[in-house]
């Protein structure tokens, strides 16, 4: 079967990584899967023309009901969809977008949610199509390159390497856009850094929103203890995560943060903002630590610094959680089975 797969393919983003992984599952089952960036297309009519070319596509798949799947509304072949997170957490609040997403869900053969909570929210927010929504957590696999210098990484990020081995680096991994809210902790972290200069925050991720990136760069430039690193390959990012003291998430909303799960898999403690997408995978004081304000973030970070038993517990349980619930084998079998529904 020849299948068209639409997703938002900004480099080094979770969406891109997820899409590539699902594409590999589809192709390993013997299908042809053409992955295309949703940003290439201006309208559903353009995608309909592409699908009907010779030889025609026989089915389609899309990640994110509004940004990508709305482009499938004019095609005459069956399709499935995968919720992205911001579609259910944010886009449903806009009536025009919600109407479009309801049309997508009605027409889709199946939909995939990363968590039970995301499925529940979709059923409540959109026309109830619960019977066609499947829950499949993201599969996680980490890759750490041997060709990585922690000292060079710190230096290139603007961090003094004079006491490199003593630094407690908190790594905030996210695409640079407002929904990820990397500015949320900047002020309070800088105050904490001034108390103890060994505590530093490094923000790293692709520049998704150019306007916001300029704003973030300006704030970081004038803020002590907070640094902005150039995005790296996934292998280099995983190597940096493995060397940091803790991985930080400050998002306003998440579907399922691959960075959180990758940190758990790498044996790195996670400090995550207490939002539904995060609390679905981070159990407070068991697989990680949750915080609901900048002040509480510092409180939880201090606990992580002073309580070795707590740190060891969340690291151990986090790694076990990923091994048990985010299996690549299970994810592959689910998508291969769902694609068969499109025949």
* Residue 154 shares a structural domain with residue 250: yes
Cis peptide bond N-terminal to 214, omega within 30 = no
* Residue 67 shares a structural domain with residue 31: yes
The answer to whether residue 145 is domain-embedded is no
The answer to whether residue 194 is domain-embedded is yes
* Residue 268 shares a structural domain with residue 166: yes
The answer to whether residue 71 is domain-embedded is yes
| CA pair distance 244, 333, nearest whole angstrom | 34
User: What is the residue range of 232's domain?
Assistant: 150-325
C-alpha triplet 62, 143, 322: angle, nearest 5° = 70
The answer to whether residue 167 is domain-embedded is yes
Across the chain, mean pLDDT equals 93
The answer to whether residue 144 is domain-embedded is no
Question: How many domains does the chain contain in total?
Answer: 2
* Residue 258 shares a structural domain with residue 212: yes
Greatest mean pLDDT among 86-90, 119-123, 151-155, 277-281 lies in 151-155
* Residue 117 shares a structural domain with residue 174: no
* Sign of the torsion formed by the C-alpha atoms of 49, 54, 59 and 64: negative
The answer to whether residue 80 is domain-embedded is yes
What pLDDT band is residue 162 in, cutting at 50, 70 and 90? Answer: confident
What is the average per-residue pLDDT within 268-281?
94
* Residue 162 shares a structural domain with residue 311: yes
The answer to whether the CB of 269 falls within 8 A of the CB of 246 is yes
* Residue 196 shares a structural domain with residue 271: yes
- Terminal CA-to-CA distance of the chain, rounded, Å? 8
pTM, two decimal places: 0.84
| CA pair distance 225, 227, nearest whole angstrom | 7
pLDDT digits (tens, 9 = 90+) for 300-309: 999 999 999 9
308 CB neighbour count, 10 Å cutoff: 9
* Residue 196 shares a structural domain with residue 209: yes
Q: Domain containing 279 — which CATH number?
A: 3.40.50.2000
Q: What is the DSSP letter of 132?
A: G
| CA pair distance 211, 51, nearest whole angstrom | 34
* Residue 53 shares a structural domain with residue 194: no
* Residue 265 shares a structural domain with residue 234: yes
pLDDT, position 130: 67
* Residue 205 shares a structural domain with residue 109: no
* Residue 133 shares a structural domain with residue 154: no
| CA pair distance 126, 70, nearest whole angstrom | 14
What is the average per-residue pLDDT within 29-42?
95
Q: Which two tokens stand for residue 265?
A: 């898999």
| CA pair distance 284, 274, nearest whole angstrom | 9
| CA pair distance 64, 81, nearest whole angstrom | 7
pLDDT digits (tens, 9 = 90+) for 235-261: 999 999 999 999 999 999 887 899 999
């Amino acid at each position: 079967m020849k299948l068209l797969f639409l997703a938002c393919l900004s480099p080094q983003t979770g969406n891109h990584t997820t899409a590539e992984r699902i594409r590999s599952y589809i192709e390993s089952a013997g299908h042809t899967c053409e992955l295309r960036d949703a940003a290439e297309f201006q309208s559903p009519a353009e995608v309909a023309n592409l699908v009907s070319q010779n030889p025609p596509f026989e089915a389609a798949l899309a990640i994110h009901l509004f940004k990508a799947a709305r482009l499938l509304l004019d095609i005459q072949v069956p399709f499935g969809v995968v919720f992205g997170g911001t579609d259910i957490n944010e886009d449903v609040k806009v009536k025009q977008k919600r109407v479009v997403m309801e049309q997508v869900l009605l027409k889709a053969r199946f939909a995939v949610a990363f968590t039970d909570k995301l499925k529940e929210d979709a059923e409540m927010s959109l026309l109830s199509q619960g019977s066609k929504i499947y829950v499949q957590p993201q599969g996680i696999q980490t890759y750490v390159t041997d060709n990585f210098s922690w000292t060079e990484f710190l230096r290139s990020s603007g961090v003094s390497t004079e006491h490199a081995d003593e630094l407690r680096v908190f790594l905030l991994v996210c695409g640079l856009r407002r929904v990820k809210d990397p500015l949320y902790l900047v002020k309070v972290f800088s105050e904490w850094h001034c108390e103890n200069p060994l505590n530093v925050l490094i923000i790293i991720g692709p520049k998704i929103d150019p306007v916001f990136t300029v704003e973030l760069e300006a704030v970081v430039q004038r803020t002590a203890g907070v640094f902005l690193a150039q995005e790296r390959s996934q292998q280099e990012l995983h190597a940096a995560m493995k060397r940091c003291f803790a991985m930080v998430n400050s998002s306003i909303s998440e579907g399922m943060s691959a960075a959180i799960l990758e940190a758990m898999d790498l044996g790195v403690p996670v400090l995550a903002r207490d939002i539904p997408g995060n609390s679905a995978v981070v159990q407070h004081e068991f697989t990680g630590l949750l915080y609901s304000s900048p002040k509480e973030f510092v409180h939880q970070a201090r606990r992580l610094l002073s309580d070795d038993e707590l740190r060891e517990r969340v690291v151990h349980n986090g790694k076990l959680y990923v091994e048990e619930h985010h299996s690549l084998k299970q994810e592959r079998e689910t998508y291969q089975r769902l694609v068969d529904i499109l025949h």
